[in-house]
């Protein structure tokens, strides 16, 4: 299955990046690298969950144990992953608000290194996951896909969330360094966190509908 290979590649890439950032964070006493390394760990968990879901879907695809098929395994993984995504957004907002009231001195060199690593990994992951594939899933194009794969969608949203935070951080760092707008960093962090939470809520709703077999066309009041 093509999605399984893509998820596995991104999972391995994320784990290697996480290990490298944590290792160099410890030997260089860089809190920025350490923080991003542990943050990568949450995404590795999400990708691992997505891969496991595909593995069991393939393993039990012809099994009689699942009366309605194995699609709900992917939906359950997507739902769980969306919770991690929402938690990530909440933590970003919490840390951003804390920095508004307790601003920290920014090490621009460390920050730029972390952002560069994050952007590079995210871009590689996006290329591997295939934007067109995800775009069709997101918009449910009838001529390309019959069903929305929320497991794949949740994994991709984790990448987009990381990419969004990296771009926002780069924008904020540039203005902080050259214009002294230090508070722009946490403010943009809050906005980025809210966007990530919005994505998570949308995915939670989509997976809940599939898991509970909710008929969205039923307009009855009962």
Across the chain, mean pLDDT equals: 80
Query: In this predicted model, what pLDDT tens digit does every residue of 163-203 receive, in sequence order?
Result: 887 788 788 888 888 888 878 888 888 888 898 899 999 99
Q: How far is CA 141 from CA 1, 74, 77, 134, 147, in A?
A: 20, 20, 23, 11, 9
pTM: 0.76
Q: ∠ CA(88), CA(174), CA(118), 5° rounding?
A: 40
* CA-CA-CA-CA dihedral for 134, 164, 82, 208, to nearest 10: -60
pLDDT at 216 over 60: yes
Identify the pLDDT of residue 103: 77
Give the start-to-end residue ranges of the domains of the chain: 2-61+68-211
Query: Considering only 28-37, 76-85, 109-118, which range has the smallest mean pLDDT?
Result: 28-37
Residue 139 CB neighbours (<10 A): 11
Rounded alpha-carbon distances, angstroms, from residue 97 to 88, 165, 166, 175: 14, 15, 18, 19
Q: What is the pLDDT of residues 7-63, one digit of tens each?
A: 889 899 989 888 887 887 777 665 666 677 777 888 888 899 999 998 888 888 877
Calpha distance 98→155 (Å, rounded): 28
89 touches 200 (CB < 8 A): yes
CA gap 219, 221 in Å, rounded: 6
**51-71: buried (b, 16+ CB within 10 Å) or exposed (e) per residue?**
bebbebbeeeeeeeeeeeebb
CATH code matching the domain that covers 2-61+68-211, chosen among 1.20.1510.10, 1.20.990.10, 3.40.640.10, 3.40.1350.10: 1.20.1510.10
pLDDT, position 207 = 92
């Amino acid at each position: 299955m093509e999605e399984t290979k893509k998820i596995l590649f991104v999972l391995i890439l994320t784990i290697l990046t996480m290990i490298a950032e944590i290792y160099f964070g410890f030997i260089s006493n860089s809190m920025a690298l350490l923080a991003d390394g542990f943050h990568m760990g949450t995404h590795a968990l999400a990708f691992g969950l997505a891969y496991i879901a595909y593995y069991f879907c393939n393993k039990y695809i012809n099994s009689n144990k699942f009366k309605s098929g194995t699609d709900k395994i992917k939906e359950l993984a997507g739902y769980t992953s969306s919770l991690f995504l929402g938690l990530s957004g909440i933590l970003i907002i919490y840390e951003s608000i804390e920095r508004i009231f307790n601003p920290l001195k920014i090490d621009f060199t460390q920050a730029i290194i972390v952002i560069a690593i994050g952007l590079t990994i995210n871009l590689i992951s996006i290329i591997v996951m295939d934007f067109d594939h995800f775009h069709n899933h997101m918009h449910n194009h009838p001529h390309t896909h019959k069903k929305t794969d929320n497991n794949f969608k949740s994994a991709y949203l984790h990448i987009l969330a990381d990419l969004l935070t990296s771009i926002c951080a780069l924008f904020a760092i540039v203005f902080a360094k050259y214009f002294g707008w230090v508070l722009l960093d946490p403010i943009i962090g809050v906005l980025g966190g809210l966007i990530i939470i919005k994505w998570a809520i949308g995915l939670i709703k989509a997976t809940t509908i599939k898991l509970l077999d909710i008929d969205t066309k039923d307009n009855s009041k009962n």
